[in-house]
Amino acid sequence: MNTKLVALIAVVIVILLGGAIVLFSSPSSPPFWQPEGSTALPAVEVRSYEGKDLSSINAFRENSIRGPQHINETDYRLTITGLTNRTDLYTYHEVLEQYPHYTKVVTLHCVEGWDATILWEGIQVRELIRAAGPDPWANTVVFTAHDGYTTSFPLDYLMNRDILMAYRMNNVTLPAERGYPFQLVAEDKWGYKWVKWIEKIELTSDPGYHGYWEERGYSNTGDLDKSYSSR
């Protein structure tokens, strides 16, 4: 057979095999191409999820004790401390990178009479606590915000339920007014238990600890199916 013909046949076979590989391979994630110099646009707020209508992220009234806190992401640190095997210190991105993310639709009910149903995205608080190693004597968890606001929960409430520390709502990063970098999604609790601008999570053995509003006559448990007043 002519040498040139043999070479031509070989080239054709290689091309056909290459095409077959391209046709039948199925990469887990297709390559993403972004033009050089292009700018990523801000995420768009979603207003429905799995057939459920969502409230706007602006459907909240401003009722924090010192107004919205504007936290510098570079300087931010989250501390897990108290009755733990170790004290953990995280940057904002370390929290997001080291723990799984979860989404859940939960309604916040304020004692002022309004509510907001939001698609929250965050990490589970119990995973942060487990990583620090809770002491057997620990039974209460105190959350402290950047503005000095505090509130507390039984340790069991956080360890036995999928309670989120949210960093995103309705598909957009928490605005400063809503608690950036992190807000607690305290399911089945009145809104004053949904602490924003979380900076410290401390495990204690003091179940009688009273936070900011609890010291002013609000229920320490904050259970949604009961009155928020302790009087």
Report helix, strand or coil for 100: coil
Q: How far is CA 138 from CA 85, 157, 194, 197, 207, in A?
A: 11, 13, 21, 24, 9
Using alpha carbons, select from 177, 64, 82 the residue that is nearest to residue 129: 82
Q: Is the pLDDT of residue 25 over 80?
A: no
Q: What is the pLDDT of residues 167-201, one digit of tens each?
A: 999 999 999 999 999 999 999 999 999 999 999 99
pLDDT of 32 above 50: no
Q: In the CATH hierarchy, which fold is given to the domain comprising 52-57+67-216?
A: Sulfite Oxidase; Chain A, domain 2 (3.90.420)
The total of other beta-carbon atoms located within 10 Å of residue 76's CB is 18
What's the burial of 43, exposed, middle or buried (CB within 10 Å: 0-12/13-18/19+)?
Answer: exposed
Average pLDDT over residues 85-111: 97
**Angle at CA of residue 98, ends 97 and 99, nearest 5°:** 100
pLDDT at 201: 98
**Total residues found in the chain within this entry:** 231
Is 119:46 a contact under the CB 8 Å cutoff? yes
Instruction: Supply the pTM of this predicted model.
Output: 0.81
pLDDT, average across residues 145-174 = 98
Q: How far apart are CA 176 and CA 167, in angstroms?
A: 11
pLDDT score, position 2: 53
From CA 174, how far away is CA 166, in angstroms rounded? 8
pLDDT bracket for residue 230 (50, 70, 90):
confident
For 70-80, write each residue's pLDDT tens digit. Answer: 999 999 999 99
57-70: average pLDDT: 93
